[in-house]
Chain A
Amino acid sequence: MAEKKQQEALLDFDYSKYGFRDEDAVYDYISEPGLDEEKVRLISKLKGEPEWMTEIRLKAYKIFLEKHMPTWGVKLDDIDFDKIVYYARPTRKVADSWDEVPEYIRRTYERLGIPEAERKYLGGVEAQYDSEVVYSRMRKELEEKGILFMSMDEALKRYPDLVKKYFGTVVPPSDNKFAALNTAVWSGGTFVYVPKGVKVDIPLQAYFRINLQNLGQFERTLIIAEEDSFVHYIEGCTAPIYDTHTLHAAVVEVIVKKGAHVRYTTIQNWSRNVLNLVTKRAMVEERGFMEWISGELGSGRNMKYPSSILKGRGARTDILSMSFANTGMHHDTGGKVIIMAPDCRATITSKSISKGGGISTYRGLVKVFPQAERARISVSCDALIMDEDSVSNTYPYIEIEADRVNIAHEAKVGKIGEDQVFYLMSRGLTEQEATTLIVMGFIEPLSKELPMEYAIELNRLIELEMEGSVG
């Protein structure tokens, strides 16, 4: 009986703040489901792209057809590529004032609290609705420092040379089937350029929203941080709940030049019908520092391994990820570090929580090339299993070809401790408060790295996930 109640409570997970649909949405253009070469050309044409980009797309489409589906990770064999809508444009205009955004879209973002966050603590905001960015704006003082922050489509129009120089250099279309698909049909995403020595002291945020049923969202993000610059980029994602799959296959490329520092934070809260298959990678030059921070709370099936290629001497990376797999969810996440130069440092910290039958898998790769002497690497995977139905797996791959490498690897799997819960309850906390507090403590290494507003939001989301956890 108690178990049934628990299951019902879990299914009742309150996603209503995020899961609503805009029934009155009006689209400027929606492509027919399915994909062929003509459709790829059409997307490029509708966007008015230069010929070279059309070529890149077509080549990538061929690679997509040739590439096999990954046979590892989450279940993918039920993706029907013929049923996906590859392009849906709500409006042709990227507004720089919320008043100019179509009313139904503005209402969505207001419900999600984006304009308010922008006023309070963000340096710039970009909002993507289905395939296109509908709003983009940066504070004037940042613009004056020469920082560029806009949609990728706009960057392709205004700064084609910069885009051409870096596009596909970090994640080539041949990397994997979904990177190839993204390259073929990409739309939207963020372009960030930070000039030499410029430090962006307040975060820039992009917010990705999928509204249309069966839509595939394929945003493409490119961040270029010139020498000794700093930027913190945050992305958030939500979608309505549908009974069919929605595919989200993004590609993110980050270029961290000499001495630059990029912090990339993701709060992923897709609805459970979203398949999140993203390729995120950074190329880090001498003394550069790349930080990947992610809180993966949503998405029924999730494959995500933010990667850093440390190619300059003394480059550094920290990959910190927290994933929460609740009922019906399978998260296969982790990180990849490729070290190609001496004196580099890398830390991978993975925290996973499995609950109500959810599956969390850590999958990580550390590869140290022969020339990468004196690398210092630390990998730690910490899994918390909330009940007997839930599962945690760990696949750490480590390949070291260099000398004098210092590597520490630690993996811990823990059940939520009865004694800990009792200790907290003996102080007056309810069982649910006690377990929630323990889970909050477990993810503290992540939440303390987030700006306060995001940490509060993350804690709130965790509390929602924990609701109904005790029978």
Chain B
Amino acid sequence: MMDTLVIRDLKAGIEGKEILRGINLTVKKGEVHAIMGPNGSGKSTLGLVIMGHPSYEVYSGEIVFKGKNLLEMEPNERAKEGLFLAFQHPLEIDGVRFSTLLWQAYNHRFGNGKKPDIIKFRKELKEWLKNLGLPEDMADRYINVGFSGGEKKRAEIVQMALLKPEISILDEIDSGLDIDAVRIVAENVKRIQEETGMGVILITHYQRILNYIVPDHVHVMVNGQIVEEGGPELAEALEKEGYARYGVAEEV
């Protein structure tokens, strides 16, 4: 229970419009959960609500992480507990260096009142940029400004690698990537997952990334509800049939 994320009957939305209509999900450390579903099914909303985006309202239900009520916590407090969200559309922040943000975040995660080792930080940053196939000078560039779509996604994984979350939500980390990039991103996620034992919530529209990161559980979300659950074979079935069986004409 201590290292588990539990979502119970979660109903949430924006400006009074309900998007999540009763979600139940339990994610333990070390597990990989894939959330699949057609566009507009509420997958991204789920990620944002777990992380605490202020635009979304929670109408009922609960989110508990390590026995603590997440709904009473600010996004930064959730991060400190070990949650991470890799954004579908990472934000651009002009004038702020990638390494500046990451160093501040690193301090919060590992500082415990004293400064972490900056040399170790620098070394790790350099290493992970290399692992993700990103240029070293990325560290000194402004956050996501002038990054290509693929670079933004990879930079999210670099942040995740340094912050070593306990549960990581990856929101369409594979969209907009070519097949080689999907492989690089997926292999690195897998490596981090194996090394740190983090739990993963992999939000995806497509099955292809699941060839590299094989999920323990697959949840299919349609219209704000989880309509089917299963193992990796469910994802494969969806790839063949699309979401037609849920009354949605969309390919996987």
Binding site for B on A (CB under 8 A): 417-420, 422-431, 433-434, 437-438, 440-445
**CB of B29, distance to nearest CB on chain A (Å):** 19
CB pair A441–B96 under 8 Å, yes or no, is yes
Q: List 20 A-B contacts (CB under 8 A).
A: A417-B91, A418-B55, A419-B91, A420-B93, A424-B101, A425-B79, A426-B52, A426-B78, A427-B102, A428-B105, A428-B163, A429-B76, A431-B76, A437-B93, A437-B100, A437-B101, A437-B104, A438-B96, A444-B94, A444-B96
A450 to B94, CA, bound (A): 18
User: Is B95 in contact with chain A by the CB < 8 A criterion?
Assistant: yes
A-B CB pair tally, cutoff 8 Å: 81
Mask, B61-85, CB within 8 Å of A = 1, is 0000000000000111011100011
CB pair A430–B91 under 8 Å, yes or no, is no
CB within 8 Å of A: which of B193-221? none
Which chain A residue lies CB-closest to B79? A428
A433 to B159, CA, bound (A): 18
Partner of B79, one of A418, A427, A437, A440: A427
CB pair B105–A423 under 8 Å, yes or no, is no
User: Is B108 in contact with chain A by the CB < 8 A criterion?
Assistant: yes
A459 to B242, CA, bound (A): 53
**CB of A462, distance to nearest CB on chain B (Å):** 12
Partner of B95, one of A426, A429, A430, A444: A444
Which chain A residue lies CB-closest to B87? A423
Additional pairs, 18, CB under 8 Å, beyond known A427-B101, A427-B108, A444-B96: A417-B91, A418-B54, A419-B91, A422-B54, A424-B93, A425-B75, A425-B76, A425-B79, A426-B78, A426-B87, A427-B79, A427-B102, A427-B163, A430-B76, A438-B96, A441-B93, A441-B96, A444-B95
Q: Which residues of A contact B75 (CB under 8 A)?
A: 422, 425-426
**CB of B142, distance to nearest CB on chain A (Å):** 7
CB pair B100–A423 under 8 Å, yes or no, is no
Q: Which residues of A contact B80 (CB under 8 A)?
A: 428
Q: Which residues of A contact B55 (CB under 8 A)?
A: 418
Q: Which residues of B contact A419 (CB under 8 A)?
A: 91
**CB of A432, distance to nearest CB on chain B (Å):** 10
A424 to B108, CA, bound (A): 12
Q: Which residues of A contact B91 (CB under 8 A)?
A: 417, 419-420, 423
User: Is B230 in contact with chain A by the CB < 8 A criterion?
Assistant: no
Q: Which residues of B contact A445 (CB under 8 A)?
A: 95
A443 to B96, CA, bound (A): 10
Q: Which residues of B contact A420 (CB under 8 A)?
A: 91, 93
Q: Which residues of B contact A418 (CB under 8 A)?
A: 54-55
CB pair A443–B95 under 8 Å, yes or no, is yes
CB pair B109–A440 under 8 Å, yes or no, is no
User: Is B34 in contact with chain A by the CB < 8 A criterion?
Assistant: no
User: Is B231 in contact with chain A by the CB < 8 A criterion?
Assistant: no
Q: Which residues of A contact B51 (CB under 8 A)?
A: 422, 426
When A418-B55, A428-B109, A429-B104 are in contact, do A441 and B74 touch as well, CB less than 8 Å?
no
CB within 8 Å of A: which of B28-58? 51-55
When A428-B105, A428-B108 are in contact, do A438 and B76 touch as well, CB less than 8 Å?
no
Binding site for A on B (CB under 8 A): 51-55, 74-76, 78-80, 84-85, 87, 90-91, 93-96, 100-102, 104-105, 108-109, 142, 159, 163
CB pair B100–A426 under 8 Å, yes or no, is no
CB pair B93–A433 under 8 Å, yes or no, is no
A6 to B252, CA, bound (A): 50
Q: Which residues of B contact A422 (CB under 8 A)?
A: 51-54, 75
CB pair B79–A442 under 8 Å, yes or no, is no
When A425-B79, A427-B159, A428-B76 are in contact, do A437 and B96 touch as well, CB less than 8 Å?
yes
Q: Which residues of A contact B85 (CB under 8 A)?
A: 426
Q: Which residues of A contact B76 (CB under 8 A)?
A: 425-431, 434
**CB of A167, distance to nearest CB on chain B (Å):** 40
CB pair B96–A426 under 8 Å, yes or no, is no
**The 4 residue pairs across chains A and B that have the minimum distance between CB atoms:** A441-B95, A444-B95, A428-B108, A441-B96
A45 to B95, CA, bound (A): 52
A128 to B51, CA, bound (A): 54
**CB of B193, distance to nearest CB on chain A (Å):** 19
Q: Which residues of B contact A417 (CB under 8 A)?
A: 91
A443 to B85, CA, bound (A): 28
Q: Which residues of A contact B108 (CB under 8 A)?
A: 427-429
**CB of A370, distance to nearest CB on chain B (Å):** 38
A440 to B74, CA, bound (A): 22
A471 to B100, CA, bound (A): 25
**CB of A382, distance to nearest CB on chain B (Å):** 10
CB pair B90–A442 under 8 Å, yes or no, is no
Q: Which residues of A contact B96 (CB under 8 A)?
A: 437-438, 440-441, 444
Q: Which residues of A contact B74 (CB under 8 A)?
A: 425, 430-431
A424 to B51, CA, bound (A): 12
A73 to B144, CA, bound (A): 38
Q: Which residues of B contact A443 (CB under 8 A)?
A: 95
A437 to B91, CA, bound (A): 14
**CB of A199, distance to nearest CB on chain B (Å):** 29
CB pair B93–A423 under 8 Å, yes or no, is yes
Which chain A residue lies CB-closest to B109? A428
Which chain B residue lies CB-closest to A448? B95
A441 to B75, CA, bound (A): 21
Give the residue among A423, A433, A445 with the most B Cβ atoms within 10 A: A423
Which chain B residue lies CB-closest to A447? B95
**CB of B162, distance to nearest CB on chain A (Å):** 10
**CB of A438, distance to nearest CB on chain B (Å):** 6
A420 to B94, CA, bound (A): 10
A427 to B108, CA, bound (A): 9
